[in-house]
Amino acid sequence: MTKIPPGEVIVDLEHVAMRYRRTRHRSSSLKQTAIATVKRRLNYEHFYALDDISIQVRRGETLAVLGRNGAGKSTLLRVVARVLPPTKGRVIIRGNVAPMIELGAGFNPELTGVENILLYGSLLGRPIKELRARIEPIAEWAGLTEHLDVPLRAYSSGMVARLAFATATDKTPDLLLIDEILSVGDESFQVKSKERTLELMNSGCAVIMVTHNLASISEYSDRAIYLEAGKIKAQGSSEMVIAKYKSDLKK
């Protein structure tokens, strides 16, 4: 956290484009592809999920990403998470990335709470030694200390979500990716998890947040971009971008 001075650029996207190829015959079977190849009808169409995107996010900043379904928001998160290499342009990420998306994707119902903390934590790239020392605090925060040695299939869905949230947010990353602010568990836990999210966002990491909840944006972030068909349609202060997005929605 103190390794680089506050305000340093964590995410740097320079003219990033992400091009996908999709077949016109809309099928992904080997048989159809073979027939289409023989008939020489296998023409692909290319489309840009992201087109000429240049953004910078500094430490301590929260960037909200707006846009309709299919505008390229998820692709943007994947490119920043290093899952997708860009077709064009350059992506530079300084430091470690923690995605807070689809909590508990790496969980296994047959394993105990402890085993799942270790598994999920290592999937997020944390060393096992470090994780072992964090088991108690994570469980305590999630209110699951007494259930740690029980297999996850005995947990309620709320308990699973709490454990996932607690594990995912245990450490402040350099870059936090949020796909919709998560509200998990019962009401008191929802308050607690919202507090934790805000705490993480304010603890000096860079944040990229995708959301459809326009009301919550100004609460969390001061800067936003608005994507449409892979291009940046508007960027700037949250208020300005939200206003632009709202007026487009009405059209």
Partner 1 sequence: MEIYDSAVKQSPVISQIKAIYKARNLLKILVTRDMTVRYKRSVLGIWWSLLNPIVTTGVLFYVFNTVFRARMPDNTSFLPYLLSGVLIVTFFNQSLITAADSIAHGAGILTKVYVRPEIFAMSSTLSGAINFSIGLIPLTAVLLINGQHPSFNSILVLIIILSMIFLIMGLALFVAIAFINFDDSRSIITIVLMMVQYMTPVFYPISVLGPNTLRIIKLNPLTSMLINFRSIYGGNGSTGWHMWAYMVGSSFTIFILGLWFFIRAWPKAVAKL
201/172 Cα distance (integer angstroms)? 9
Helix (H) or strand (E) holding 134: helix 128-142
Least gap, CB of 73 to partner 1 (angstroms): 14
How far apart are alpha carbons 192 and 139 in whole angstroms? 14
CA dihedral angle for residue 158, residue 164, residue 170, residue 175, rounded to 10 degrees: -120
Neighbours of 126 (CB within 10 A): 19
Which region among 22-30, 155-163, 197-205, 226-234 touches partner 1 (by CB under 8 A)? 22-30
Tell whether residue 60 is a contact of partner 1 (CB under 8 A).
no
Residue list 146-165, contact with partner 1 (CB under 8 A): 151
Contact code string over 172-191 relative to partner 1, x by CB under 8 A: --x-----------------
20 binds partner 1 (CB under 8 A): yes
Measure the CA dihedral 180/183/184/187, to 10°. -170
Overall size of the chain counted in residues: 251
Range in contact with partner 1 (rule: CB under 8 A) among 76-84, 156-164, 201-209, 220-228: 76-84
**What do you get for the CA distance between the two ends of the chain, in Å?**
45
Site for partner 1 in 85-104 (CB under 8 A): 85-86, 89-97, 99, 101-102
- Are the beta carbons of 224 and 210 closer than 8 angstroms? no
Residue 122 near residue 134, CB atoms below 8 Å: no
Does position 81 bind partner 1 by CB under 8 A? yes
Choice between 84 and 234, CB closer to partner 1: 84
Nearest distance from C-beta of residue 180 to partner 1, angstroms? 13
Q: Which residues bind partner 1 (CB under 8 A)?
A: 3-4, 20-21, 28-31, 33, 78, 81-86, 89-97, 99, 101-102, 105-106, 108, 110-111, 115, 118-119, 122-125, 127-128, 151, 174
